[in-house]
């Protein structure tokens, strides 16, 4: 029986950190945020998204607006950013092994689909987008129900603590990656099912374990 593997987008399939940093330096001051330096960014990377929002001084009621503005500002740079090195070959191998692949992201579905098409990432035709920063758990549960599979036969691959928490809430398995926004040592404290230091490690996880 095949396993469904869903990938986060930012930081997991594409290294979007520079695009996000540039966009925030443009947009952040409009929301009352102090200029963000590279040094401060590195300190924030080990924090949960809610802690980051608090540290930056963004009121929660303005967070959806900030996220929308950020996505728009990032789009052009993001489209020109290459996928994570080696991820295309890993996706191809997972497809050959019979696994069903897709993307679940807080980014707009149309933008993610355009990126996948432009960079020819194989097997990622199913894109669930626009989940919001903290709406992934519900989306994971809905995906399991719509596909008629047990949640434990679904693996979510991501790079943030909020991704891990969403997987836990939805009772799906989680693969933490080392090449994204949050350092792997921070993700490891949440007890992910799998830890991947390189994209090829995704080929070694026990995706068939019920």
Beta bridge partners of 7: 103, 157
- Contact predicate 202/94, CB 8 Å: yes
Beta strand segments in 45-149, E: 100-104, 126-128
Active site residue 8: yes
Dihedral class, residue 102 (left if φ above 0, else alpha if ψ from -120 to 50, else beta): beta
User: Catalytic pick from 8, 10, 159, 193?
Assistant: 8
Contacts 24+ apart (CB under 8 A), 122-126: 122/88, 122/91, 122/92, 122/95, 123/91, 123/92, 123/94, 123/95, 124/7, 124/13, 124/91, 126/100, 126/101, 126/102
- The arrangement of strands across the sheet holding 100-104 comes to 126-128, 100-104, 4-7, 154-158, 173-177, 194-196
Active-site positions?
Answer: 8
């Amino acid at each position: 029986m095949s396993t469904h593997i869903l990938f986060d987008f930012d930081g997991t399939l594409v290294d979007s950190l520079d695009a996000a940093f540039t966009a925030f330096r443009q947009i952040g001051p409009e929301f009352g945020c102090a200029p963000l330096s590279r040094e401060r960014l590195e300190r924030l990377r080990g924090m949960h998204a809610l802690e980051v929002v608090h540290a930056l001084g963004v009121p929660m009621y303005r967070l959806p607006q900030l996220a929308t503005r950020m996505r728009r500002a990032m789009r052009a740079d993001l489209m020109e950013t290459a996928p994570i090195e080696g991820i295309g070959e890993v996706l191809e191998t997972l497809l050959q092994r019979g696994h069903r692949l897709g993307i679940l992201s807080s980014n707009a579905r149309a933008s993610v689909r355009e990126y996948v098409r432009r960079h020819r990432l194989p097997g990622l035709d199913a894109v669930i987008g626009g989940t919001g920063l903290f709406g992934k758990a519900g989306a994971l549960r809905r995906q399991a129900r719509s596909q008629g599979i047990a949640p434990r036969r679904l693996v979510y691959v991501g790079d943030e603590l909020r991704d891990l928490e969403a997987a836990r809430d939805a009772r799906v398995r989680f693969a933490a990656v080392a090449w994204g926004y949050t350092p792997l040592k921070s993700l490891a404290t949440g007890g992910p099912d799998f830890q991947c230091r390189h994209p090829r490690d995704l080929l070694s996880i026990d995706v068939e374990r019920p």
